[in-house]
A and B are shown apart, each in its own frame.
Chain A
Amino acid sequence: MAKDMMTRFELYQPADIAGALELAGKLGPDGWLIAGGQDSLDWFKDRAKRPGAVVDLSRIESMRGIRETDSGLEIGALATVTEIEENTLIKSRYAVLADAASRVASPQIRNVGTIGGNVCQDTRCWYYRSGIDCYRAGGSTCYADTPEGMNREHCLFGADRCVAVSPSDLAPALVVLDASMVIQNKAGERTVSAQDFFIGPDTDIERMTVIEAGEILTAIRIPNTWAGARFYFEKVADRNTWDFALVNVAAAIQVENDIIQDIRIACGGVECVPRRMSVAEDIARGSAKNEETARLAAGSAARGAVPLNYNHFKISLLENLVLRAIRDS
């Protein structure tokens, strides 16, 4: 039952990453990191998550901003989605990320929501979000994957007790740009590729990313590899704003003489992680960029899909979006 009233918690507002890491380490599982709050506050208001302490990262200046580096771009995890959407470097070199940002939630949410929060946000399975005792919440049932479960918005791939999907629009874009996620902990910094940053229920059913307790996603680095490539992003949702994707697709394609030299495609809304369309990429790579290639590759997109009772439309939608990504990019 939604309660719409947060429980009391201690609020910490560290001014630097070191302070945040110290707090995160000290508080352990009782601490909750918050940035824009667009995911966290829902949980708190519903009393479905009850942290004793909240660490507000928003005052850490070093986690803000979008910087050009020798190897590409570094985006602070606190950069707002609006900043991503409007940044001229991102728009000119990595348009797929700006396009994806422009389709996140609503303008109001984009103004406060951060890129770090967007990729770290929890899944939107309505059963799980209602505070029910499902597998992902530490229980022993999946309410969505039942003969009568209302699972229109759930997964086609990678079900493992849980059938929730990745809700992020930015995640597939970061995967196709081969971004690195910069994670800091007490021991220092580690980087993980966007592809490996997201984890499915087979790895850990209670988490969506590799971030461990006591760690903070501080920045995202985008290499020059795909700068200026042809891009495609499309999100299909019930509405044109303030809605999560039924399926989204991001693609980066390098084309020479009408031949696809290299390609990366990733889709959200079909698996617990952004799903890389590796087989479709293999089909397309080295082929002419045309309708025929697009159709051939798209035909492979849903191979292996295991639809639930209410989401088999996602098979057609996924195939069509992969088709469009190759054909219309």
Chain B
Amino acid sequence: MAYSLIGKDFTPPDIRGKVTGKAKYAEDFSAAGMVYCKMLLSPMPHAQVSNIDVSDAMSMDGVVGVLTADDVPAMDGAAQAILTNTPRYVGAPILAVAAIDETTAADALEKIRYDIEPLDFVLDPLQSLYPGGTNAQAAGNVASMGIPLQEIKWTARDFASADPDQFPMTGKAVSEWSYGDLEKSFSEAAVVYDESFVTASNSHHSMEPRSAMSYWENGKCFLFGSSQSQSFMIPGLAAYIGIEPRDLVYIAEYCGGGFGSKGAAYPIMALPAHMSKKIGRPVMMRISRAEEYYLGSNRAGFQGRVKLGVASSGKVTAVDLYIVQSSGPHNGYPDFNSAAGAVSICYQPNAMQYRGIPILTNTPPGGAQRGPGQNQIAMVMEPLLDKAARELGIDRLEIRRINAPNNDTIFGGRQRAVTSAYQTEALNKGALAFNWERTKKRSGERNGSKVIGVGVGQAYHSAGAAGFDGLVRIAPDGRLHIHSGIGNLGTYSYAATSRVVAEVLQCKWENCVIERGDTRKHLPWNFGQFGSNTSFTMSRSNHAAAMDARQKLLEIAAAEFGGSVDEYDIGEETVFSKADATKRLSYAQAAQRAIDMGGKYAGHEIPDDLNPMTSASAKAIAGSGLIGVAKDNYALDATPPALAAGFMVIELDTETGRFEILDYNGVIDCGTVIHPLGLASQVKGGAVMGIGLATTERIVYDPQNGLAANVGFNQAKPPSYLDVPSTLGTDAVNIADPQNPMGIRGMGEPVMGCAASALICAISDALGGHYFNRTPIVPDMIINAIAERKQSHKPLQVYTF
């Protein structure tokens, strides 16, 4: 379908502020009388704090208040509190001091006297599962979203049944599903691999630390924060503050990176609100880089084992997957379950069994990071597929085509269908751009100490949701105001999806205003900006609101000129009679008519299926123009998938363990392309993050003391410009999805996993098929493998360099 805006590049309205430095992030705000707070962070991985004496601190000049765990809401189960007297990781906030400047606050923290008793701590999930093993929380060692805090120990027999370097497969799981006849399907396999694996946990280290500023005014709490999402933040944040959602004014126009860690309300953001309430002054909490490490959450690490059966045809017959997740000390994020779903959809096994268990660890809290679970498991599974291809004599691209999901795919424990899937097309498109047939022949090519490795990788994430609201307004000046509560993660998808409204209403983009980033802009209830969902979800809600506005325009014209709505159409920002073009109202005139007519046209009457947040916003702008407002009730009976394929060629130096990426091509199957430049940025940025996930980024802990080895941004080692190719190829399948009115699906996460797994495969290829079953693959692992030395770490060891 030919669109005038969808599929075209444009300049999102927030770019100018970003490149000129005028954009205001949370830390850039101030208010009269503002003070600064700093936190006392736990020096121990698990401890009990008591006898806090703040008298010396409070007597210091410039100190205005102290906030302790007693001043903030207690949390249920394994949930993380804003402040705690039972810190469960090094860096957990114990209390905060407010002072007229940060140096005074930091000095005051050193004057606070308290007793701190070290408690047993655990870093390695398998040690926690061992009979008598330590629990990261006194009340248990297992918890996750939807899984209550509990204690689970495996039996000594479970551990004894496996070789010490093998993952035990008989222990109790808390999450499991299966389909098909596993035994029969394995028996149909020509090759069966049974591999234990480790994927490391890594820190988010968002570029913008999660600073926040807050004050109270006329009974409302004003909070300036850093978040990916906007409307979705409100209920959780209000709960952390202890107020009704309607009493929270939340401002978050820009976000300097979140990658999943700022998708939903997080506890520390509420700290300045509590402090401000207590001391009666605005409070700025500037989060330092080190604090961002401790509070900014980690991608979960996996210890696991996978058994993969592949038939001589290359068809994956069976998968048996068990994942133990290192979750951090609180609920974390259920990466383990997402990983299992990804295996099912990407490889389409005839039978699959999945078991998983999230184990609490005394490391910084776990959180969703771009492709949480899907991207770790891609780095485990894709090399195994290569192994099968080599052994069966099948081309590595072909074995992926053979197993690729398509429109008939069903997957996961609930055997869900997909809205559409074109992974074969993604593979084909990427192979063409990469010149797979020619490039694969370079595999193993030697140039002195250097050797060529070629890899192809794939990844998946679900890509959309339904049921959220859209809200638009045509003002009497003819401008179209698009109210977007999705948030601004930095991908510009808030703007790209707003263009759906302009497209439907055939409105010039220059005449559109996006209302966003501030509760006071009267925003609808929208989903969070995470999980690769924005493009799908938000385009549906916006489409619904735009269609409502369109219908109202037609009705207003019919009321003005007579006849039925069928006799009217819209175009060039007017509504007109199809039979008599002189019967025409400009959008400005129609908006004034809507105000005059009142009722539903001006937003005084609204649908009763709207979320209360949307209803309140619609009522707030009622009477100011033509109001289009609707819930997304479009059908959705399957999972919209985002599928990606990445192709990479590297030159690995066998004498140093280092490699150079010579070429990369990433292709995404995301339905209709809504914003080509935004898409290209995602495919490239995802690849860069994937390169880090595969080869440099991990958190390291000293097992004796529970101390973090690589807190700093430089020690986290995200890839630099010099670690990635200067050009990265990007493309999309661009076939419309039937369950989105404009064919759009999301895409942000698998474009990371496909690059990460392509790189893992390329490294293994360069090493002649050496598989590490461990990520990231760091230079010392490569050097040891080439020198045929034993690796320093034990196969299932975690938190190592």
Contact = CB atoms under 8 A, between A and B. Distances in A.
A308 B378 CA distance: 33
A239 B103 contact: no
B41 A148 contact: no
Given A238-B717, A238-B779, A150 B702 contact: yes
Contacts of B105: 5
Contact of A312 (B107, B720, B792): B792
Contacts of B635: none
Interface in B741-783: 778-781, 783
A310 B789 CA distance: 12
A150 B106 contact: no
A207 to B, nearest CB: 24
B567 interface: no
Interface string A310-329: 11111011001101100000
B722 A241 contact: yes
Given A130-B707, A239-B720, A246-B779, A313 B789 contact: yes
Nearest to A242: B714
Contact of B720 (A152, A236, A242, A310): A242
Contact of B801 (A6, A130, A152, A323): A152
Interface string B557-590: 0000000000000000000000000000000000
A321 B103 CA distance: 46
A150 B792 CA distance: 10
A126 interface: yes
Contacts of B700: 150
B106 A310 contact: no
B676 interface: no
Contacts of B656: 234, 236, 317, 320-321
Interface stretch (B286-294, B319-327, B422-430, B521-529): B286-294
Interface in A43-85: 46-47
B689 to A, nearest CB: 14
Contacts of B793: 310
26 contacts: A1-B41, A5-B105, A6-B103, A7-B106, A7-B107, A8-B103, A126-B709, A130-B711, A148-B702, A149-B702, A150-B709, A153-B801, A236-B658, A236-B779, A238-B779, A239-B717, A239-B720, A240-B720, A240-B722, A243-B714, A246-B779, A312-B784, A312-B789, A313-B781, A313-B783, A316-B784
A152 B710 CA distance: 12
A68 B705 CA distance: 52
Contacts of A148: 702-704
Given A149-B704, A246-B779, A5 B102 contact: yes
B35 to A, nearest CB: 15
B38 interface: yes
A2 B711 contact: yes
B90 interface: yes
Interface string A86-114: 00000000000000000000100000000
Contacts of B290: 2-4, 46
Contacts of A242: 714, 720
Nearest to A124: B715
Interface string A1-36: 111111110000000000000000000000000000
B705 A316 contact: no
Interface in A225-252: 234, 236, 238-243, 246
A203 interface: no
Interface residues of B, number: 52
Given A2-B290, A143-B705, A239-B719, A320 B655 contact: yes
Given A4-B289, A4-B291, A127 B103 contact: no
B787 interface: yes
B715 to A, nearest CB: 7
Consensus secondary structure, chain A interface: loop
Contact of A309 (B106, B288, B778, B792): B792
Interface in B37-79: 38, 41, 43
A8 B704 CA distance: 34
B574 to A, nearest CB: 54
In the complex, which of the residues A127, A242, A311 has the most CB atoms of chain B within 10 Å of its own CB atom? A242
Contacts of A146: 704
B702 A127 contact: yes
A246 B792 CA distance: 15
In the complex, which of the residues A1, A8, A243 has the most CB atoms of chain B within 10 Å of its own CB atom? A1
Nearest to B724: A240
Interface in A267-322: 309-314, 316-317, 320-321
Contact of A317 (B657, B702, B711): B657
A127 B655 CA distance: 29
Contacts of B714: 242-243
Contacts of B789: 312-313, 316
B58 to A, nearest CB: 19
B801 A236 contact: no
A246 B715 CA distance: 13
A93 to B, nearest CB: 27
- Listed from nearest, the 6 A-B pairs whose CB atoms lie closest are A4-B288, A2-B290, A313-B780, A5-B106, A240-B722, A152-B801
A19 B382 CA distance: 65
A274 B421 CA distance: 57
Contacts of A316: 783-784, 786-787, 789
B150 interface: no
A229 to B, nearest CB: 23
Contacts of A126: 709-710, 715
A309 B289 CA distance: 30
In the complex, which of the residues A2, A7, A246, A317 has the most CB atoms of chain B within 10 Å of its own CB atom? A2
A234 B710 CA distance: 24
A46 B449 CA distance: 42
Contacts of B783: 313, 316-317
Contacts of A106: 720
Nearest to A309: B792
In the complex, which of the residues A46, A149, A313 has the most CB atoms of chain B within 10 Å of its own CB atom? A313
B342 to A, nearest CB: 28
B696 interface: yes
A180 to B, nearest CB: 32
A246 B56 CA distance: 46
Interface string A115-137: 00000000000110010100000
Contacts of A240: 720, 722-723
B800 interface: yes
Nearest to A149: B702
B258 interface: no
A150 B800 contact: yes
Nearest to A3: B106
B657 to A, nearest CB: 7
Contacts of B701: 150
Contact of B722 (A8, A234, A239): A239
Given A5-B288, A148-B702, A312-B792, 15 more contacts: A2-B288, A143-B705, A150-B700, A150-B702, A153-B801, A236-B779, A239-B717, A309-B792, A310-B792, A310-B800, A310-B801, A312-B784, A313-B657, A313-B783, A320-B449
B91 interface: yes
A146 B704 CA distance: 9
A257 B735 CA distance: 66
B778 A238 contact: yes
Contacts of A312: 784, 789, 792
A148 B91 CA distance: 22
A196 to B, nearest CB: 30
Contacts of B658: 236
Contacts of B704: 143, 146, 148-149
A152 B722 contact: no
